[in-house]
């Protein structure tokens, strides 16, 4: 047996969020009552009219290969969505659908990056960007953001990070893991900095519909002068609670979309026909279900922030979007568990809470921001309350020396 792997595998690791979920599953299999606050998906069911469209597609025999970038009907629905919600106009050749937003981001990087290229990624960031950039042979340039700036990239920080070899700037609003949402003015200020440079912009708008306060602004709308070099990434995973359907889409310049399609034609081909049909129903359908979802999420965010404020050693700012609270846990460093272990890192804190409270969360280092933990409040109200009370109980058991 020759188990030699490609050197490519040495530059990446397994997704930390998936790893936490695996650990939790193992604990649950062993009989523990575990609560997962680590998963980036809503607990709500996919709305019925969307499921019906998927079932209808199966019954109608919509079960064969389609065009790699998606059916003409799906592309038309995506074009309508961009026009209606974002005031953006794309021809069909500027649109591609794929197996989740993740695949489209991956394809875009792979299609454009070369050895020596740099990609600016504001931190904290979605866990997959840096590894995808490294896989494509390029260098992630991490630019830390602060809670004082609402966890957002400032024009000054962007200007300082831009270099001749910068190929992409990644913007993710609403943001995973912080819930930060950029205003149109903030995006316009970043756009001004980019005016003098030819970097591409990856606008990851996947959480567009999960904004609790204020409104969503798409980078491609707020930076009209850069439209020709913005790739807008979106999908049905978050806003329609369809993570398992694996359907994402992108709008961008023809040359880039065309290259992403060539890559996809040699890997996965078209996204599932069933998911394509369901996505049309999602994009064209009534969205009033979102109001109920959002009021639940707002209430949960309030509960989490209140609990965090009451726990010694934890603190967090309130952010307007997504379904995450990103809490500082450095106040717990130095505390000692009843087992005699000293907590010295964010991984130590999440590990302790997993062992003692059977509550899973992702440590900030995974998002490029050590000293924090991400609390996903996308779970049932009662379970969330139970998780918060368990965390509080576990922290109360610590011996804290200051």
List residues near ligand PLP by CB under 6 A.
40, 100-102, 126, 172, 176, 204, 206, 235, 237, 243, 248
**CB closer to ligand PLP out of 113 and 121:** 121
CA distance 69 to 93: 9
Q: Nearer to ligand PLP by C-beta: 36 or 176?
A: 176
- Smaller CB distance to ligand PLP: residue 86 or 237? 237
Cα–Cα distances in Å, from 76 out to 32, 73, 97? 48, 5, 11
State how far the Cα of 394 lies from the Cα of 59, in Å rounded to an integer.
51
CB of 362 to ligand PLP, least distance (A): 11
CA dist., res. 226 & res. 192, Å (int):
9
Residue 103 CB, nearest distance to ligand PLP (Å)?
7
Instruction: Extract the tokens encoding 183.
Output: 């205003």
Minimum gap (Å) between residue 177 Cβ and ligand PLP: 8
**Least separation in angstroms between CB 314 and ligand PLP:** 23
Whichever of 126 and 352 has its CB closer to ligand PLP, that residue is 126
233-262 residues labelled b (16+ CB within 10 A) or e (exposed)? bbbbbbbbbbbebbbbbbbbbeebbebbbe
Kindly state the smallest distance separating residue 104's Cβ from ligand PLP, in Å: 8
Provide the 3-class DSSP secondary structure of residue 357. helix
Question: Residues, the chain, total?
Answer: 402
Judged by beta carbon, residue 176 or residue 221, the one nearer ligand PLP is 176
Range list of β-strands (E), 226-351: 230-235, 248-251, 324-328
Q: Which residue is nearest to ligand PLP (CB)?
A: 100
- The closest alpha carbon to 278, from 236, 320, 225, belongs to 236
State the nearest-atom distance from the C-beta of 207 to ligand PLP, in Å.
Answer: 7
The DSSP code for 371 is S
Which residue, 208 or 356, has its beta carbon nearer to ligand PLP? 208
For the CB of residue 205, give the shortest distance to ligand PLP in the complex, in Å.
9
| Smallest separation (angstroms) from ligand PLP to the CB of 360 | 16
Beta bridge partners of 168: 119, 200
Name the nearest CA neighbour of 166 among 192, 201, 191, 190.
201
Say what angle helices 254-265 and 101-112 make with each other, to 10 degrees.
Answer: 110
Buried b (16+ CB within 10 A) or exposed e, 89-110: ebebebbbbbbbbbbbbbbbbb
Task: Name which of 140 and 235 has its Cβ closer to ligand PLP.
Answer: 235
Cβ 372 to ligand PLP, closest distance in Å? 16
| C-beta closer to ligand PLP: residue 112 or 237 | 237
Q: Which is nearer to ligand PLP, 43 or 204 (CB)?
A: 204
């Amino acid at each position: 047996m020759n188990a030699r792997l490609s050197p490519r595998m040495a530059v990446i690791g397994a997704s930390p969020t998936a790893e936490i979920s695996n650990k939790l599953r193992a604990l649950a299999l062993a009989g523990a009552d575990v609560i997962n606050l680590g998963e980036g998906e809503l607990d709500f069911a996919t709305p019925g009219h969307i499921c019906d469209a998927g079932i209808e597609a199966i019954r109608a025999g919509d079960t064969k290969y389609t065009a790699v970038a998606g059916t003409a009907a799906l592309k038309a629905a995506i074009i309508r969505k961009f026009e209606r919600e974002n005031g953006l106009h794309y021809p069909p050749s500027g649109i591609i659908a794929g197996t989740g937003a993740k695949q489209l981001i991956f394809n875009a990087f792979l299609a454009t990056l070369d050895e020596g290229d740099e990609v600016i990624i504001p931190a904290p960031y979605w866990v997959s960007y840096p590894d995808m950039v490294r896989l494509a042979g390029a260098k992630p340039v991490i630019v830390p953001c602060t809670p004082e700036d609402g966890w957002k990239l400032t024009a000054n920080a962007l200007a300082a990070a831009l270099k001749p070899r910068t190929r992409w700037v990644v913007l993710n609003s609403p943001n995973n893991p912080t819930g930060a949402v950029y205003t149109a003015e903030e995006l316009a200020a970043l756009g001004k900095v980019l005016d003098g440079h030819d970097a591409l912009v990856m606008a990851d708008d996947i959480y567009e519909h999960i904004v609790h306060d204020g409104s969503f602004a798409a980078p491609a709308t707020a930076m009209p002068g850069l439209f020709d070099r913005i790739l807008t990434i979106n999908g049905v995973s978050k806003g329609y609670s369809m993570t398992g359907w694996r359907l994402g889409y992108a709008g961008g310049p023809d040359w880039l979309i065309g290259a992403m399609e060539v890559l996809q034609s040699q890997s996965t081909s078209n996204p599932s026909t069933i998911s394509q049909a369901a996505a049309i129903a999602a994009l064209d359908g009534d969205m009033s279900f979102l109001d109920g979802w959002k009021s639940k999420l707002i209430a949960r965010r309030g509960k989490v922030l209140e609990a965090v404020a009451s726990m010694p050693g934890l603190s967090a700012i309130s952010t307007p979007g997504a379904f995450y609270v990103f809490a500082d846990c450095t106040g717990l460093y130095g505390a000692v568990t009843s087992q005699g272990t000293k907590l010295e890192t964010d991984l130590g804190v999440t590990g302790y809470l997993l062992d003692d409270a059977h509550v899973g969360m992702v440590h900030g280092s995974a998002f490029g921001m050590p000293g924090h933990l991400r609390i996903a409040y996308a779970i049932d109200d009662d379970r969330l309350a139970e998780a918060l009370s368990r965390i509080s109980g576990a922290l109360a058991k610590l011996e804290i020396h200051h």
